[in-house]
Structure formats: structure tokens, C-alpha cells
């Protein structure tokens, strides 16, 4: 183990002053300060992949840094096997960062890969997807051990938060990936990266937007999918379906009943966009109400009958779609949309994450029981989540003018059928960015994806290069990340992005994804499975 402690306190002070100065920049003036980048960059390392080589690099951060291990590895893919040097680093008190450095043909770029849910040591792995594409890549455990579905690290002891680990998870570890990763790149290749990118979905999307908001100089361009930016509020909503099912239906609905209601909603609203394809283009325009659907809702329907809904069951479903509300009917947070799979949040058992948040981030009581919630006290629960979790985890500051001013580029995407993170939250945030940052279209785009589930999959075309998928045919790999690179490096602002639906390994359908608020409209002629027969226009 190698420990680098020299001058870290001085480094922290300089970095802090720089962050304050940059954060104070306004949105006026300036311009793109990032130079264009050439293609076909191929750089070889100048140090050996050993503890005596790259392991001897002096690293500095806001706390002592230790290089724990240096090993070699390969991406292990049959057609594009690439060797890399893996450097394992720890920044005190316990942020682990793994930096994967291609040992042949580095493309000159650094890319940090985001996490899922609560991250932890179970998600710490070599950045093989980045290496496979030629990037130097970095991952982190975000400063704590354990399984990614456990939020227990947020509590030091009953009644007491662990503020260090909360802050490490919320933002510090992601910032350290940039600080440490870039230093290792410079040490290994004897030059700085020409661009530094963030790449993530869900928690990874939240992390990327946190960097734009809090550390705007860390990453030159950010791809943020289904961003978990309203961490405090959407997680409070995630228990709402259980509360209303208990109140109005005396307990969870069967899978058959949930799927029946979803099918009826899609059937009612599918063709509103002029194309019957089993997908609701924009669920916000769908007003299907199961309580008014006499074909399936009737008083004599039993809880065991999956072909119908009892009135209370229909009421619960309508409340799930309608979003979390107080006793006066005022909206607290938008719900999952009609067409989304309800099994995760409205299944037989609650989704675990809102319970983890309540126990270890809100009440600091491992024995807290979600069954104490009801329609009368839910608003207090929602507000308590916002009070306790929001100051640390909320990542919805729309003023990212400092990121824009230095030439940063941002692409966000979100599936309308997301069954875990409410897509209207992302739309709300993006529209606030547009209102807050002048000429926001010069540096940011949002792509809403009809029919797509959480980060991937679903009933509509959802393959557009946002994740690695070896089974996807090359003709389907329209890559939203490559569009981000072209925007950052060449000034080529993206327009529509082609998404593909893959069935049995072949492209069955393509559809353009349009920059919000535009939507894809059928031209009226040609196959509705071909993106060429659609155009992006105002809704």
C-alpha cells in the first residue's frame, strides 16, 4: 500500500477557493472555452502497470490518498478484448476508487461511470465498458461498504446520522473520481485527458447532475439518464402505492389486476398520437380513469378475480397514477405514468428503498414500520423526508450556468414508462433549467422516451446506445453518448436520436427521439416501424 499525504491540506484549500470562484460565475459573457478535439487519438502509456510504476504516482485530494493495489486485466470480450491497468485507490476516510487505464491505444478521454441506488462495495468494479471503447474509466463505491439496496450507512447509530458517509455518497466520492482519475491519467500517459465525461443512469444520472451543479469544472460533458435528482421526494412517493392500496383496497392488488388496469389505460390512450403501437407517446395527456370504466370495474368483483376491479381497487390505481397527495387533494409529487409496470411499487411487498430511506436517513430508527403510514399522516411523512434528506441528496438546482459558461454540455433522457423514478420530475427540472440559464439549448438537451422503462427496456424503442448491449445489431446502435461527444468536441449540437426496438436479436422498429418539448409525429405515409416516416415537431 502506498500513501500520499504530502500537501493534501494545501491542495484542499486551493481546490476549495477555485470551486467558490467558479461557482460565483454568472451566465453572461464567456463562451465555449473547450478547444475542438481531433479524431483517432491513440496514446500509449509511459509508466509500467506495477506498484513501482504507476503505483508510485503522488496523488493529492482533500484528504490522504492511498494506492492500494495495481493489477492488470482485460475486458474479456471475444471480438474486442482490450487490456487495461487497474489502479485501486482509497481516499480517507473510506472512499474507494478504481481507475481502469487502457494499456494500448488510449483514446485520450476520461470517463466516470455512475452507480445504481445506494451503490456501495457491491458495485465497485473495473470500468470495462469504458475501456472497451478506449476510454480511461473510473468507478467508486461512493464511500461505504455493503449491498446497493441498503441505505443503512446513512445512520451512525440510532438517532444519529452518519454525515460523513452521507456526504461521501451524495457528492464527494464522484468529485474525487475526477480529482484522482485525472491525476492517474496524467501519470500513466504523461498528458491530461482531452475531455472528461460523466456517464450514468438513475443514481448515476443524479450523480452527473450533482457534478454540473456543485463541481462544474470536473466534467466537460455529462450524460444523465433517468436522474434520481429528487431523491428525497420520489423515494417518499415510492411507498404511496402501498398506502393507498391499504386504504382503499384493504391490501395489495394481484398482478393480474395491475396488468389489467395498465392494458386498459394503454388501449384507451395509445392511438391519441395517430399511431396504434402499444405505446402512449406522452402519458400526461392520458386521462383514463379505471373508476369510470364499467367494462372492468364492478361492485361484485372479488379480490381473487383478475379479470375485473372492485371499486376500491380502481380508486387505489387512480390514486397511484395521480401522484402522492395530501388530505386536501393537493399534489405532493407526480406518480408513475399510465402504461408503466406497477409491479415494483404496487406489488405484494413494498419497494425496499423508501423504507431504507425512512429508517436510516429520516428517522434514524431501524425498527420504523411503513405500516404506520396512512392517508392522514402521509403528508407529514413526505415533508419529513424532504426536510431530512433534501439538504444532502436533492440535486435539483437549476442554476448550472457555471457549467455552461466553461463550455460544458449536458444530455438527459428519461423513459415515460419508468416504473421507479417519476419522469415528470425530470421534465420539471429541465424546464426550470431552461427558465434559469440563458440560452439553455446551447448546452443542454432532454430526450423523453415513450414506452421505455427505468433506464432501458419496455414496450417502445429503447436502444440508443445508452448502455452496453452486445446482442444489439450494429445498425441499431445509434449512440446518444457519441452524440454528446460530438457536441462537446466538435460543436455539433444533437437533434433527433434514433431509438430501436430489438426483437429476437433483430431491429423490429425504429423511432426518433426528439429534443424536449418536441415529439415524434407520423408523416401519414410509410411504415410506422420506420423512423424515417416520423418528424420531430411541437406537441
pLDDT tier for residue 246 given thresholds of 50, 70 and 90:
very high
Query: pLDDT exceeding 70 applies to what percent of the chain?
Result: 91
Residues 414, 421: Cα–Cα separation, whole Å: 9
pLDDT in tens, 12-30: 332 332 332 223 333 333 3
Q: ω into residue 517 within 30 of 0, thus cis?
A: yes
Dig out the grid coordinates for 403 from the structure.
457549467
Q: Is 477 a residue whose pLDDT tops 90? A: no
Please report which confidence band the pLDDT of residue 77 belongs to, taking 50, 70 and 90 as the band edges: low
Rg (CA), the chain: 24
Q: Kindly state the cell numbers that stand for 58.
A: 503522488
The confidence score (pLDDT) of residue 259 equals: 97
- Whether 500 shows a pLDDT value over 70: the answer reads yes
Tell me: pLDDT of 474 over 50.
no
428-460 pLDDT, tens digit per residue, is 999 999 999 988 889 999 999 999 999 999 999
pLDDT of 10 reads: 31
Interval 98-122 mean pLDDT:
95
CA 435/CA 444 separation, integer angstroms: 12
* pLDDT score of 76 more than 70: yes
Confidence of residue 3 (pLDDT cuts 50, 70, 90): very low
Residue 505 confidence (pLDDT): 85
Q: Is the pLDDT of residue 7 over 80?
A: no
Give bridge partners of residue 499 from the DSSP assignment: 511
Who contacts 336 (Cβ-Cβ below 8 Å, separation ≥6)?
A: 320, 321, 342, 345, 418, 419, 422
Q: How far apart are CA 409 and CA 483, in angstroms?
A: 11
Residue 146 in this model has a pLDDT that exceeds 50: yes
Residue 530: is its pLDDT beyond 90?
yes
**pLDDT digits 0-9 by tens, 31-63:** 457 888 878 899 999 999 999 999 999 999 999
**Can the peptide bond before residue 315 be classed as cis, meaning omega within 30 degrees of 0?**
no
Helix (H, G, I), strand (E, B) or coil at 242: helix
Amino acid at each position: 500500500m502506498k500513501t500520499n499525504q504530502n500537501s493534501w491540506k494545501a491542495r484542499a484549500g486551493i481546490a476549495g477557493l477555485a470551486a467558490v470562484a467558479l461557482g460565483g460565475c454568472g451566465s453572461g459573457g464567456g463562451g465555449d472555452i473547450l478547444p475542438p478535439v481531433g479524431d483517432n487519438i491513440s496514446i500509449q502509456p509511459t509508466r509500467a502497470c506495477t506498484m513501482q510504476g504507476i503505483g508510485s504516482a503522488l496523488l493529492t485530494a482533500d484528504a490522504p490518498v492511498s494506492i492500494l493495489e495495481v493489477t492488470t486485466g482485460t475486458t474479456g470480450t471475444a471480438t474486442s478484448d482490450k487490456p487495461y491497468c487497474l489502479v485501486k485507490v482509497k481516499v480517507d476516510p473510506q472512499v474507494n476508487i478504481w481507475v481502469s487505464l487502457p494499456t494500448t491505444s488510449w483514446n485520450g478521454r476520461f470517463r466516470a461511470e455512475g452507480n445504481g441506488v445506494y451503490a456501495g462495495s457491491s458495485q465497485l468494479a473495473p470500468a470495462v465498458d469504458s475501456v472497451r471503447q478506449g476510454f480511461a474509466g473510473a468507478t467508486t463505491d461512493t464511500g461505504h461498504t455493503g449491498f446497493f439496496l441498503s441505505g443503512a450507512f446513512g445512520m451512525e447509530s440510532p438517532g444519529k446520522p452518519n454525515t460523513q458517509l452521507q456526504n461521501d455518497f451524495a457528492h464527494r466520492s464522484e468529485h474525487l473520481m475526477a480529482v484522482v482519475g485525472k491525476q492517474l491519467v496524467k501519470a500513466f500517459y504523461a498528458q491530461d485527458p482531452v475531455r472528461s465525461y460523466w456517464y450514468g443512469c438513475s443514481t448515476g444520472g443524479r450523480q452527473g447532475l450533482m457534478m454540473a451543479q456543485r463541481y462544474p469544472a470536473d466534467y466537460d460533458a455529462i450524460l444523465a439518464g433517468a436522474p434520481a435528482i429528487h431523491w428525497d421526494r420520489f423515494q417518499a412517493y415510492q411507498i404511496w402505492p402501498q398506502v393507498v392500496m391499504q386504504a382503499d383496497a384493504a391490501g395489495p392488488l394481484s398482478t393480474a389486476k395491475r396488468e389489467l388496469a395498465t392494458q386498459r389505460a394503454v388501449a384507451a390512450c395509445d392511438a391519441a398520437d395517430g399511431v396504434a403501437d402499444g405505446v402512449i407517446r406522452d402519458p400526461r395527456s392520458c386521462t383514463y380513469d379505471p373508476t369510470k370504466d364499467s367494462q372492468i370495474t364492478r361492485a361484485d368483483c372479488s379480490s381473487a378475480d383478475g379479470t375485473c376491479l372492485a371499486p376500491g381497487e380502481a380508486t387505489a390505481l387512480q390514486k397511484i397514477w395521480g401522484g402522492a397527495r395530501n388530505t386536501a387533494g393537493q399534489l405532493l409529487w407526480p406518480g408513475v405514468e399510465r402504461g408503466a409496470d406497477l409491479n415494483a411499487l404496487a406489488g405484494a411487498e413494498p419497494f425496499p428503498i423508501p423504507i431504507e430511506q425512512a429508517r436510516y436517513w429520516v428517522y434514524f430508527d431501524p425498527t420504523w414500520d411503513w405500516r404506520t403510514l396512512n392517508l392522514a399522516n402521509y403528508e407529514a411523512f413526505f415533508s419529513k423526508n424532504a426536510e431530512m434528506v433534501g439538504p444532502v441528496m436533492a440535486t435539483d438546482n437549476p442554476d448550472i450556468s457555471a457549467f455552461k459558461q466553461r463550455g460544458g454540455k449536458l444530455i438527459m433522457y428519461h423513459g415515460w414508462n419508468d416504473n421507479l423514478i417519476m419522469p415528470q420530475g425530470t421534465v420539471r427540472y429541465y424546464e426550470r433549467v431552461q427558465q434559469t440559464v440563458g440560452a439553455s439549448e446551447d448546452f443542454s438537451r432532454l430526450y423523453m422516451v415513450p414506452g421505455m422503462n427505468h433506464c432501458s427496456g419496455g414496450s417502445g424503442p429503447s436502444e440508443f446506445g445508452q448502455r452496453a448491449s452486445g446482442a444489439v445489431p450494429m445498425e441499431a446502435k445509434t449512440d446518444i453518448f457519441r452524440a454528446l461527444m460530438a457536441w462537446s468536441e466538435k460543436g455539433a449540437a444533437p437533434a433527433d436520436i434514433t431509438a430501436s426496438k430489438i426483437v429476437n436479436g433483430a431491429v423490429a422498429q425504429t423511432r426518433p427521439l426528439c429534443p424536449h418539448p418536441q415529439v415524434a409525429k407520423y408523416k401519414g405515409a410509410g411504415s410506422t416501424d420506420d423512423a424515417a416516416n416520423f418528424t420531430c415537431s411541437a406537441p
